Amino acid sequence: MSDSGSSILRGIGSYVPSIKVDNNELSKKVDTSDEWIRSRTGIKERRYAAEDENTSDLALKASQRAIDMAGVSPEEIDLVLVATITPDMAFPSTACLLQHKLGIPQVACFDLEAACSGFLYALDVADGMLSSGRYKCALVVGAEKLSSIMDWEDRTTCVLFGDGAGAAILTKTGKGAEMLGFQCGADGSNPSLLHQPAGGSALPASTETILARGHFLKMNGREIFKSAVRVMERASRELLSHHGIDISEVNHVIPHQANARIVESLSQRLEIPLDKFFCNLHKYGNTSAASIPIALDEAFKAEKFRKDDLGLLVAFGAGLTWSSALVRF
């Protein structure tokens, strides 16, 4: 649990690639149906990046929009953090590639890997670094090209995910939404619930790993579903209680956009009405680390937030990881 030194969310921006594929189109390629995908997940369509459009390119466009909204210049940014599980390459970091593309000075840049919880983890880390007084202006990005690790022969996973990016500018001064605090946690006891088995030091790339389709995302959806609801409820309740805030005071919930049924279960368990939850997963599917910043940006642009409204952001992902944040708009 961390109490924020009240970092200010000065700007937010997002970008989704232009290739749009709806469930009917997908069912021409995969043994599935619009009815199955919609009823089990709420997803209607998703976006895919072009072959030559990398995670850093998606991050670039989202970052430019966040920078514009914040009214800062790239020269003022002294920290770049990218949350992703689909970096352009294992190294160097996507944050370094993004720094160069944006013309940001030679400042600290690194990637953070906490899967779908990654953006809130990255905000928490950036908030701590700003609070140390050693950094003044952070660019925090969640960006994914999940289509690059999707197994088109596994219908239980490939229909769920999409590509996109969201970005935020965080400072200690200026006008914007106030980050009140964060909670991040993890349980590494069962990593194979959601993982990409091959390509790391445990199982380096080989002909066998390719033939075994080990470089694709693998998931036990049913188990992840159960854990997701449990850990998101916990991350929400613990953070609210730490800040002495009653659940009834929450005006908006921006949950990780994975499955409409997960959101409904969370709404019931937290006893927060569903109409306080912002959802756009029907348009984009699950974009992992990009899901919360894309949703936050769309809710901002749709003028969902009034001054002083309280927002709860909450996510879960591979690890298992979870994270939550409170924001005063």
For the stretch 92-95, contacts whose Cβ atoms lie closer than 8 Å and that sit 24 or more positions apart, written own/partner, are 94/55, 94/56, 94/59, 94/143, 95/141
Partners of 168 in the β-ladder: 12, 140
- DSSP state letter for 78: -
Does position 110 interact with ligand UT7 (CB under 6 A)? The reply is no
Question: Shortest distance, CB of residue 58 to ligand UT7, whole angstroms?
Answer: 18
- What are the residue numbers of the active site? 116, 256, 286
Does position 190 interact with ligand UT7 (CB under 6 A)? The reply is no
Nearer to ligand UT7, 266 or 272 (CB): 266
Q: What is the CA radius of gyration of the chain?
A: 19
Does position 156 interact with ligand UT7 (CB under 6 A)? The reply is yes
- Please select the residue that binds ligand UT7; options are 159, 184, 198, 312, rule is CB under 6 A: 159
Does position 221 interact with ligand UT7 (CB under 6 A)? The reply is yes
H or E segment and range at residue 207: helix 207-211
- Please select the residue that binds ligand UT7; options are 224, 239, 266, 272, rule is CB under 6 A: 224
- Please select the residue that binds ligand UT7; options are 317, 319, 323, 324, rule is CB under 6 A: 317
Nearer to ligand UT7, 99 or 321 (CB): 321
Rounded Cα distance, 127 and 137, in Å: 10
In the structure encoding, which two tokens stand for residue 217, read together?
């995302």
Binding string, residues 40-59; x marks residues near ligand UT7 by CB under 6 A? xx------------------
Choose the binding region for ligand UT7 from 71-79, 135-143, 222-230, 269-277 (rule: CB under 6 A). 222-230
**β-strand pairing of 218-219 with 194-195:** antiparallel
Rounded Cα distance, 287 and 220, in Å: 18
Judge whether 46 and 173 are in contact, CB under 8 Å.
no
Choose the binding region for ligand UT7 from 48-56, 78-86, 92-100, 218-226 (rule: CB under 6 A). 218-226
**Cα 189 to chain centroid, rounded:** 22
Task: Give the CB-nearest residue to ligand UT7.
Answer: 221
Does position 258 interact with ligand UT7 (CB under 6 A)? The reply is yes
